[in-house]
Amino acid sequence: MVYTDTAAVSLCLVGARCYCRQWGVEQATARYAAAKSAHIRTKMAGALICFLVVLCSLLHQGLAITCYQCNSHNDSRCLLQKLPDSLRLPCGPKDTMCRKISQVVEFEMNGMPPDSRVIRSCGWDESSYKGRCYQRSGFGGRQEVCSCIEDGCNSASIPVGATALMLLTFALLRF
């Protein structure tokens, strides 16, 4: 509600915390509009920050690497050249790569017969082997461990990155 008189203009905004006196109607209205606009901007900035926090947490979950996860000891599909998509699962937040381990146990050990198996999983590794293959051997067995950093890259017999590097090398040698 606005009250005016001829000597001085008083503005009384009912229900508002701001009471303006001795101003012109236009100036009082402009100041009230500016204060209201600043209040709305502050609320919108808070809502935007909340939205960005939620979005970032969802993106972080969406950016988690996915790897084929199986063990041929209890799932024969793990040996297939073309793995079913049902074996491709999201990894945990600390996992940074996919891994394929080919193990061979050459003779009976601890009551277990000779065996070979393939284990595909998620992993993390801060060593220089990240994105490469290496072999280990010991008494009665050996294993090859290959790691890669692309989604679903542990389905191939060698890491996808290594395949791309091999093709690039071949192309460069050809020309």
At residue 95, the pLDDT reads 94
Q: What is the CA radius of gyration of the chain?
A: 33
Q: Torsion-angle region of residue 16: left (phi > 0), alpha (psi -120 to 50) or beta?
A: beta
CATH number of 66-174: 2.10.60.10
Task: Give the model confidence (pLDDT) of 125-174 as tens digits.
Answer: 767 777 789 999 988 899 999 999 899 999 865 444 544 555 555 556 66
Nearest CA-CA partner of 35 in 54, 16, 52: 16
At residue 12, the pLDDT reads 47
Domain coordinates of the chain in residue numbers?
10-61, 66-174
d(CA 147, CA 129): 8
The alpha carbon torsion through 13, 18, 22, 26 (nearest 10 deg) reads: -70
pLDDT at 3 over 80: no
pTM given for the model: 0.54
Torsion sign, CA atoms 117, 101, 104, 112? negative
